[in-house]
Structure 1
């Protein structure tokens, strides 16, 4: 084994998600990996028995382990991918290249086809991406279909069509397979699609507007109406495109909403010009102004996280308030794109808060109904429910779900394999699981429920 003191090092590791790098002699990067829990994952390499000879060989050469903590598993995946491609560590079996990300493919056929693609990018077609998710690719293809009516069918299907398919009937394809569109018009739609996927949105709208005006002047009103519908479809698409920015910028959008004694702080991130999504946070106490809760969240969050270059908020703190992020000024949205981001974050915060309040109200109503139905003196704070299942009397399993303080406690759910009972005897199975469950409560190892519900 190397001189690396794994036990001492592991005591300093975070349990947050992140990326780790095994470093050998002469600063050689041996291995790069990602982890949901850095401490647990790195510790697994330094067990007494290696999981494989390859891992054992690698661990014997480790001189140091470097880690990078990120905010989520998704960010860890992206960082791992980038590091593997740039560092090319010799013990990584699979070098994740661009195959990890999906693309939009525009073929070079006589009537090009638009399609989802994942794999090695070649020269046989035009590729747009990579995009952050499969959903993003499929959503974009659907939007392009509505605006430009390009075909998505395989060449084998395209070559053997005798009549238009359903996509043509619902105005998602111009049916070049049966000559419903000319080669010239289809090629123009392909050019506009390429411009659109390349981010040249305003140029596409200008070209379509010129086509519509020319058709109207030529009294080709049907053609003008068709182009008008394309412009409308694209306008709806572009309204959604604020999730991406043409600038390579890092921005955080943090908004706060408070009402009915509760509060929500929604945090959205833009990295490299791409909106990565948002996450709603609910303070334990909903008292105070929105500005106060915004500052409290920022101070706690960025105490352990590096701030981006710019932070957009929906309310500014008082002039005499201490800056929650040293060296970073908070600002309101300054242009249409940032206002769209802030509006999206604010709307999502309001929705999250409303859902939480509604869920709390529904839970309170249900508990009140349960108290009345069972004629209880006080409302239960913890309920445990049991059920038995089996397959034709065999493989009997009992399950326990837990409700406490107004919410289901998924982390406390348990399954029990039932043994030593007559096949199909649910009563004996229920007796066994209840005994096993509450023996621990009697000895003080478990939490005592206020109410136990059993099925059967």
Structure 2
């Protein structure tokens, strides 16, 4: 396994080879390199190698390093395995819920689902047909009468004994089989039960089962993506498409024969937008390795559930020989072995499916192209906004990729739980991984100017050590002249260019589109108008900073309010705290009491009363 580095020792590329000499030398001897690889070769200064026992080990190491180091010339996909599941808990009366995270052996999971909408849809189906409970355990244990869900026929009310454990268990078993794709037997069993109740003249129960059968049949008819015949099982459909230099990999999921929707992925590391792009099989192989293989933390239990027994691809995979030639192989042996090992069963690759599976693949290809078209429209609009802002601010940029904007906002509630946020716009998109929150301490509550000074001092104290690409071209400050002046003072103290500062002052009536841009270097304020694309970008970044600050402040405030200040006083236990709160009607009353009044409470000595008074004041 080899790694290329540039002159600054920054990682460029991670690869593997059976014959290192042939593979590495092929990068420098070939005259027909793609623009992406040619650009990489021009930057290579040195390389490092790691020898493994087998090609499979090299593939696994390569995959882990790509995820960890994110080399710019490897094809990179966002490693997001946080898929939602439908969960049936292991309680006596199992609860139906959606779930994200590590699986627990005590519960039963179905999925994964490509998005939360698919989970909500499945939960609604199970509620309507099988009437399983969805309430939390704390609610379930304390119910004295059925809830609204029972009244609208979405829950069988096991909380108040409307049916036995055995009866509820039958519903759970039928729901489980439905989620596993055994639709025919579930319908047959329901029909058989309906006739049995009818023969016994239990017509009310027979009518309930009749309605359940009708609901389930309606669901299956509406799900046109369901397979006609049973036995299709779990399948993932992966299609790669390219339009106007943009590549998308669309992953569609079929679980229990039901098509659950899809998700689009856009790879990084495709350096050439106008030249030759990597071949589709290479992109598919990179996606499969990064998406399914066990990651560095080794969360094999969750990953194994992500691998279905069948992967349908719109291209046959291939692998490159050490001399640069392409050897057709479907799939590469080491990748196939790893998937089989991790899944604990054989994983089949299909690239020429028939019947329903062919329809699924065609749909996945179409959705990939739709996702690309949508991204091109969104990116075009975003680029136009960024270009307009760069022109208005007279920024000297070689390309819009260099535009980096950092925006600051202060949030608190009457001075309580003050937090500052910093959000980053770079590479023509918001970079959520670079967002930061700052807890503001040591200031007068509610002093936004002091809070702005503190956050800027902490953010740019070591600005000289920042790499060039991390230095902002614009520092947005949510506020008027006061906040801009604070920013000017801080940047002047650090020797930074005060021309970076742009304040966003709210307009008359705080109406969107009437904001003015205020500068710290003496330039006149700008009122761009509601139709300005530059102002739209500024407003987008400002609103994101405000949202990020608000959520952090609320979380901090909620955490602070869960701990009573009395709990922090030594010598005040639960009983004394209860007596104090009961005597004075709450914490505010305790804080308003005198030392003599506090000492009048049973169990509170004069010394302890003085301690309480000092602590609360």
Q: Indicate how the Cα distance of structure 1 residues 241 and 284 shifts in structure 2: closer, same or farther if over 3 A, else same.
A: farther
1:69-218 aligned at under 5 Å gives the runs 103-105=88-90, 107=92, 113-116=93-96, 129-131=108-110, 142-150=124-132, 160-161=144-145, 165-173=147-155, 192-193=174-175, 195-196=177-178, 199-208=181-190
SS of corresponding position for 1:233: helix
| Cα distance per residue 1:193-219 (max 9 Å; x no partner) | 465356532112344567889999x99
The Cα of 1:38 is off from its aligned counterpart by 12
1:266 aligns with 2:250: yes
SS of corresponding position for 1:332: coil
Paired residues, what number? Answer: 350
The Cα of 1:313 is off from its aligned counterpart by 2.2
Q: Indicate how the Cα distance of structure 1 residues 184 and 350 shifts in structure 2: closer, same or farther if over 3 A, else same.
A: same
CA contact (8 A) 2:241 2:365 kept: yes
SS of corresponding position for 1:425: helix
Q: Indicate how the Cα distance of structure 1 residues 210 and 314 shifts in structure 2: closer, same or farther if over 3 A, else same.
A: farther
1:387 aligns with 2:369: no
1:254 aligns with 2:238: yes
Residue 231 of structure 1 corresponds to 217
Aligned pair partner of 1:406 in 428, 433, 440? 428
The Cα of 1:262 is off from its aligned counterpart by 2.0
1:296 aligns with 2:282: yes
The Cα of 1:364 is off from its aligned counterpart by 1.6
The Cα of 1:268 is off from its aligned counterpart by 6.4
Q: Distance in 2 between matches of 1:151 and 1:413?
A: 39
Aligned pair partner of 1:331 in 329, 351, 361? 351
Q: Indicate how the Cα distance of structure 1 residues 388 and 297 shifts in structure 2: closer, same or farther if over 3 A, else same.
A: closer
Structure with the larger strand share: 1
| Cα distance per residue 1:58-96 (max 9 Å; x no partner) | xxxxxxxxxxxxx96869xxxxxxxxxxxxxxxxxxxxx
Q: Distance in 2 between matches of 1:300 and 1:186?
A: 46
The Cα of 1:294 is off from its aligned counterpart by 1.8
Q: Distance in 2 between matches of 1:156 and 1:397?
A: 39
Q: Indicate how the Cα distance of structure 1 residues 435 and 351 shifts in structure 2: closer, same or farther if over 3 A, else same.
A: same
Residue 383 of structure 2 corresponds to 364
CA contact (8 A) 1:209 1:231 kept: no
Q: Which runs of 5+ in 2 are unaligned?
A: 1-48, 58-63, 69-77, 98-102, 294-306, 319-325, 337-348, 484-617
The Cα of 1:139 is off from its aligned counterpart by 6.7
The Cα of 1:105 is off from its aligned counterpart by 4.8
SS of corresponding position for 1:402: strand
The Cα of 1:358 is off from its aligned counterpart by 3.3
Aligned pair partner of 2:461 in 431, 436, 450? 436
Q: Indicate how the Cα distance of structure 1 residues 335 and 208 shifts in structure 2: closer, same or farther if over 3 A, else same.
A: farther
The Cα of 1:264 is off from its aligned counterpart by 1.0
Residue 313 of structure 1 corresponds to 313
The Cα of 1:300 is off from its aligned counterpart by 5.1
CA contact (8 A) 1:208 1:231 kept: no
Residue 565 of structure 2 corresponds to none
CA contact (8 A) 2:88 2:94 kept: no
The Cα of 1:309 is off from its aligned counterpart by 8.2
The Cα of 1:255 is off from its aligned counterpart by 0.8
SS of corresponding position for 2:219: helix
SS of corresponding position for 2:216: helix
Instruction: Work out which of the two has the higher radius of gyration on C-alpha atoms and give 1 or 2.
Output: 2
Q: Which runs of 5+ in 1 are unaligned?
A: 1-10, 20-35, 41-70, 76-100, 108-112, 122-126
Q: Indicate how the Cα distance of structure 1 residues 343 and 232 shifts in structure 2: closer, same or farther if over 3 A, else same.
A: farther
Q: Indicate how the Cα distance of structure 1 residues 231 and 181 shifts in structure 2: closer, same or farther if over 3 A, else same.
A: farther
Structure with bigger RCO (C-alpha 8 Å, 6+ apart): 2
Q: Indicate how the Cα distance of structure 1 residues 114 and 231 shifts in structure 2: closer, same or farther if over 3 A, else same.
A: farther
Q: Indicate how the Cα distance of structure 1 residues 287 and 266 shifts in structure 2: closer, same or farther if over 3 A, else same.
A: farther
CA contact (8 A) 2:128 2:154 kept: yes
Q: Distance in 2 between matches of 1:271 and 1:185?
A: 27
Root mean square deviation, CA, Å: 6.4
CA contact (8 A) 1:195 1:201 kept: yes
Aligned pair partner of 1:453 in 476, 482, 505? 476
Q: Distance in 2 between matches of 1:351 and 1:284?
A: 22
CA contact (8 A) 1:418 1:429 kept: yes
| Cα distance per residue 1:360-385 (max 9 Å; x no partner) | 12312322442465466878632333
Aligned pair partner of 1:280 in 246, 249, 265? 265
The Cα of 1:260 is off from its aligned counterpart by 3.9
Q: Indicate how the Cα distance of structure 1 residues 169 and 115 shifts in structure 2: closer, same or farther if over 3 A, else same.
A: same
Q: Indicate how the Cα distance of structure 1 residues 73 and 352 shifts in structure 2: closer, same or farther if over 3 A, else same.
A: closer
The Cα of 1:167 is off from its aligned counterpart by 1.4
The Cα of 1:452 is off from its aligned counterpart by 3.4
Q: Distance in 1 between matches of 2:352 and 2:127?
A: 36
The Cα of 1:387 is off from its aligned counterpart by 2.4
CA contact (8 A) 1:313 1:330 kept: yes
